[in-house]
Structure 1
Amino acid sequence: MTIITSRFERRLGKGDRDPADGVRAGGVTRRLSTRRSERHRGEPWRDWAAIGLWIHAQMLLVALISPSWPWLLLAALPLSLAFATGTLTILHDAGHRRFSRRTWPNVFAVQTAVPLGFFVQHWTLKHRVHHRSSQVYPLDEATRNTTVRMHPGIERKPVHRYQHLYAWFLYALAWVGELDSQFTYVRKGNIIGLEVPPFHVRLGQWLFEKAFWALVITPYVLLLGPGKFTLYFMVAMSVGAVQAAIVLVVGHINEGLYAPSEQPAPRDWSKHLVATTASFSTRSLPMRWLTGGMTHHLAHHLKPVAPRHQLPQLHTTVVEKVVRASGLPHVEYPTLTSATISHYRRLKELGRTDGGPPVVTGPTAAGAPAGGGQ
């Protein structure tokens, strides 16, 4: 697959700098990307082996034992955590082409280690848009959800008044939305801001990846039986979707964060990231591994290809300097629980008001100017 560039990327002038390459804010200039040869390929492949073994060992054990229905449901719970970790780690690394600059090793890594039916080449394009247009409505696909209002740009409906209560159940169906997004992409090629392959190429890519996925899971279907496997797989996938969705949404839809509707100028890119990205549990090594480094979400957005073991250092160096230069508070929560509670309050706010300046509360309020500014 050819490298696809965005219109925004092509508009950059000679004196500007690509946001994926580096930022300059208030006199702070940092090289925020690394050469492909410096992407620490060993880390993603090590995690591929660990998570792949974790997932397949559970699936094989259950397939061989073939437990009764109640035990089958119970066995789906630990698999859900493995699925969530694999999604946040393996799929995410593949989206940044950390396994290889070529497409096929990234597809291979995802389909073998996390056999959930992802369309890796499609997800990579969506994630590229997310990094270049984080929370910009309607460019970032995450901002266009109409069932759960996550951006003030979405029309507010009466049902949204209760979204802070029902959103958690819909997170379990995130895989349904992802599948619908795949179908829509294959049919229409609807990635805003990117040139996409022609229809026959998109269809061929989708069919190849689905066939690869089916080849991986077929032995488990034959061993466990179609009925039992479907129940086991669907429960694990749905519960895992809730876990992965929570980790992802607390990083961008939270109190103290802005929800922009315009693409920032390259010179304002770092300020945009500070205003739209939250971090949590930055001192927890287990949480950093289980979430694929999403604990240091701002550090990741500033340096997308940085290996996870470098994120704590970036958090105390580059992140601190960029935040200081931006004049905005760094929205950071001590735990995932506190970040989730704050996300709940933000959903409630978006469901009952038309939005407005962010309200800085809780752990982000100390020493921070109310609302900040852009």
Structure 2
Amino acid sequence: MISKTIVMLTVFFVPLVLINIGVVTVPWLLFALYIISGIGMAGIGMGIMHDANHGSYSKNRKVNKYLGYTMNLIGANANVWKIQHNVLHHSYTNIEGADDDINAPFFLRFSPHAKKNSIHRFQHLYVWFFYGLSTVSWVTAKDFLRLFRYRKMGFLNKKNQFRDELIKMASWKLLYYSYALILPLIMVPLAPWMIILAFISMHFVTGLLISIIFQVAHIMPSTEFPLPDKDGIVEGDWFAHQLATTTNFAPKSKFFSWLIGGLNYQIEHHLLPNICHIHYKRISGIVADTAKEYGMPYHTKRTFAAAIMAHIGVLRKLGKMQPIPVR
């Protein structure tokens, strides 16, 4: 974890340093450095902050807390993410209206229970563009919108907690935009529109990588989209729910698994989110055997490409099928 942390932080920050010291004078180098930084940004998100904000990077809470702030360094907000991911996604995986990962804008449909629009029949073609733009939206507006929405949902209800979080969020984002965009606009002797486009390309790489990794783990042909009954109760226990709504992929690819923070073992992560991802491969056999022993599902795709193709198939199906009524 320490070596991965050093590598990912280096891949993210070194290109930005080179951009900000004014050595970049040609467009291709500017785009190349920003794109490399985007890969590092995705690595920080999947391989450092994800474990830290789950409390699984280290046994030391302070280490987890401070490394969790690496998310703030890449423009997002750790505290808002903990609500969105740790609470809403992990507690209510694939439940319409509760899991924020499948709550999509009107032009995307990730659940068979969501409202269907005519444009959805093409979503398997255009979703990749919006996956790419997802982190640009995230670091600009979405964090603020979620902060206000989560307050209405009953989170951030301690005295001055919302106000303090709003100030800290704005401050972190100002810091991020200062070194990721404002300084390059000052230091790089190229047209401002080109620098902004290169900055967006960095985020496009990050958004595409992160969105695909997380979405193919849950929006798949084999995964379920359970609904609560009229009393708000979901059938089955929480562990069975995680097995029914989650899919692994590319379990034999060691480098790929290292690169994406073990998130190809999403089942193990959802069942045991407080365990560091470096252990997922070793415990996956135990989880698979136990699921088989008790007749429970253990969904997995042999390769990442197979997972993407299956995900495309689900998006296509969701674009055509009528909504399944919510009870």
Shift of 1:49: 2.7
Output the amino acid matched with 1:74: A
Which of 213, 224, 234 aligns to 1:264? It is 234
How far off is 1:300 after superposition? 0.8
Is residue 162 of structure 2 the alignment partner of residue 202 of structure 1? Answer: yes
Unaligned ranges ≥5, structure 2: 187-191
User: Relative to structure 1, is the Cα distance of residues 280 and 114 closer, same or farther in structure 2, using a 3 angstrom cutoff?
Assistant: farther
1:172, distance to aligned residue in structure 2 (A): 1.2
How far does residue 106 in structure 1 lie from its aligned partner after superposition? Answer: 4.8
What secondary structure does 1:295 align onto?
coil
Q: Deviations over 1:294-336 (max 9, x none)?
A: 11110111111112221112110023312442443x2211111
Partner residue, 1:366: none
Distance 1:131 1:191 in 2: 20
Letter of the 2:300 counterpart = E
Aligned length: 310
Q: For 1:185 and 1:101, locate their aligned partners in 2 and report how far apart those are by CA, in whole Å.
A: 29
Structure 1 unaligned runs (5+)?
Answer: 1-42, 357-374
Work out whether residues 114 and 323 of structure 2, in 8 Å CA contact, stay in contact via their aligned partners in 1: no
| Partner residue in 2 for 1:96 | 54
Provide the rounded CA distance (Å) in 1 between the counterparts of 2:249 and 2:120: 26
Q: In the TM superposition, what is the alpha-carbon distance from 1:71 to its structure 2 partner?
A: 2.8
Give the aligned partner of residue 89 of structure 2. 130
In the TM superposition, residue 191 of structure 1 has moved relative to its aligned partner by: 7.4
Residue in structure 2 matched with residue 68 of structure 1 by the alignment: 26
Aligned position for 1:30: none
Partner of 1:47: 4
Q: CA deviation at 1:156?
A: 0.7
Aligned to 2:189: none
Secondary structure in 1 aligned to 2:172? Answer: helix
- Residue of structure 1 in register with 2:103 after alignment: 144
Contact 2:265/2:280 (<8 A) preserved: yes
Of 73, 77, 88, 2:35 maps to 77
Distance between the aligned counterparts of 1:106 and 1:203, measured in 2? Answer: 24
| SS in structure 2 of the partner of residue 143 of structure 1 | coil
Q: CA deviation at 1:110?
A: 4.6
Q: 1:243 maps to what in 2?
A: 209
Match of 1:315 in 2: 284
CA RMSD of aligned residues (A): 2.7
Q: Aligned in 2, Cα 1:102/1:126: closer, same or farther, shift over 3 Å?
A: farther
Q: Matched residues in 1 for 2:174 and 2:4: separation?
A: 23
Residue of 57, 68, 73 corresponding to 2:14: 57
The normalised TM-score by structure 2 is 0.84
Cα–Cα, structure 1 residues 343 and 163, in superposed 2: closer, same or farther, change >3 Å?
same
Q: Which residue of 1 aligns with 2:142?
A: 181
Local SS of the residue matching 2:322: coil
Out of 331, 336, 345, the position equivalent to 2:313 is 345
Q: Deviations over 1:87-144 (max 9, x none)?
A: 1122312331335789875564354577321111010111122111111111101222
Letter of the structure 2 residue corresponding to residue 131 of structure 1: H
Q: Secondary structure at the match of 1:332?
A: strand
Following TM superposition, by how much is the alpha carbon of 1:209 offset from its aligned partner in structure 2, in angstroms? 3.7
Distance 1:201 1:293, change over 3 A: same
Shift of 1:199: 8.1
Q: Which residue of 2 aligns with 1:156?
A: 116
TM-score, length basis structure 1: 0.74
Letter in 2 for 1:185: R
Return the match for 2:127 from 167, 171, 194: 167
Task: State the shift of 1:252 in Å.
Answer: 0.2
Q: CA deviation at 1:86?
A: 1.5
Deviating more after overlay: 229-238 vs 196-205: 196-205
CA offset at residue 48 of structure 1?
2.8
SS of the residue corresponding to residue 264 of structure 2 reads: helix
User: Cα gap change, 1:338/1:190 in structure 2, threshold over 3 Å: closer, same or farther?
Assistant: farther
Match status 1:276 vs 2:245: yes
CA distance in 2, matches of 1:191, 1:297: 30
Equivalent position of 1:33 in the other structure: none
Give 1:277 deviation, angstroms: 0.5
**SS of corresponding position for 2:206:** helix
CA distance in 1, matches of 2:137, 2:295: 35
The answer to whether the 8 Å contact 2:71/2:77 transfers is no
1:48 and 1:109 in contact (8 A); partners too: no
